[in-house]
Structures are given as structure tokens and as C-alpha cells.
Amino acid sequence: MTSHAASKPWSTILFDLDGTITDSAPGILHRLARTLEILGHPVPPPSELVKFVGPPILDGFRAVADMDAAGAQDALVVYRGLAASDGPQADSVVYDGALDLLRSLHAAGVPIAITTSKSEVQAVRILQHLGVDGLFATITGSSEDETRSAKADVVEEALVRLRAAGVDLSNTVLVGDRHHDIEGAAVHGIPTIMVEWGYGSPAEAAGAIDSVSTMQQLAALLL
């Protein structure tokens, strides 16, 4: 673990979902491959498909699958339909210790929230399936039309909701696994703790105040 003097106690903790709490890549990659096959596009190898996990999915369709804006919107409709038919269990594999940590933070009275570029509807379904949706002060994700999908925009919406609920945002931190998390949080002056078990490369941790390799290390920084 690389530590850069994180500031505690945190008043509010924002969590990314995919690659931070849930190991959803297998379900996402399978769904992406099916989407591309349905639309008659070549299916890239998993090493390329994994680039979809983390950033807004429309960006992935444009950058990884080389689609234009209209094609990416068509792919989004197919992908969301597959996600609905697969159900929340497809993306609900949880990293060891993640739910225990969330429950401990909630029990300690620390407000926690989800900020994910995944569809908010899907994120809520997943967390309901896991039985932990009630732990969060807000579950904020991308809008169904993806007009809110960039991490900075998702974080902004979460902060609006939290502020309206009277949550103390004076010392907020975000926990994530990709450079998109770090950059999106930084727009709002929020530091990021990077988890190494997710989908980002070590180089993506640049700009994080801490990088942790185990759930125990993360718990020590947050509790």
C-alpha cells in the first residue's frame, strides 16, 4: 500500500461500484460480446472489452467498438435490454469483505453513497439483490439516456442529493478503481482512495491520496 496521509475522520464516503464493491466484469463482458454479435460487429478480445468497465458505456461503444453516435445509442438499447433480462445477479459477485466494510461504516454512523457510471436503475437493483441498498444515503448512477454518465456528473448529482438530505460533506472521500474516479472526484475537490483489486492499471492510481491492495487496508483508512 502507498499512503499519502489520508485525512480522517471522513464525514462522507462515496463508493464506485464495478471493480470496487462488485466484480462485475464477467457479466459485463459477456453482455457486451452478445450486444456486438447481435448488431453484427466484430467482438474484440477480453483484453479490449475490459476497457468498457468503468467509464460511461457510450464512450466504450465509440472508442472500443468504433461506433458513431447513432450506432452507440443503438448498442446501448440492446445492452440495457440484455442487462434487464439477465437480472441483477449477473453483476452481483462481491469482493470478499466489501459488504462487511459497508455495514461497519453504516453502523459507525458514517454516511456512505454510491457514485457509479453504471445505470442507476441497474445499480439499485444490484444493491437490492445484495440486501445492502438501505445502507446508502444515495445510490447515484448514470441516467437511462446517458446524459448523466461521466463520473464528475454522477458525483455532482450525488452531492446535490446528499446536501439536500443534510449530509455533512466537509471531509468527503471517494473510493474507486479507475482514473475516471480520481478525475471525476477531483472536479469537485474530493480526494480518492484507489483499490488495486479492480480494473485499473497501477498507472491509473496517479493522483490518488492512497492506494490499497486489501479490504483490510481500506477499512483501516476509512474507519
The one catalytic residue in 16, 23, 59, 181 is 16
Please report which helix (H) or strand (E) contains residue 129, including its range.
Answer: helix 120-130
Q: CA-to-CA distance for 84 and 101, rounded, in angstroms?
A: 28
Rounded CA separation 190/176 (Å): 12
Q: Is 59 a catalytic residue?
A: no
Query: Residue 213 corresponds to which cell in the numbers above?
Result: 491492495
Angle at which helix 215-222 crosses helix 98-107, to 10 degrees, equals 10
**Alpha-carbon dihedral angle through residues 161, 58, 127, 162, given to the nearest 10 degrees:** -10
The catalytic residues are: 16
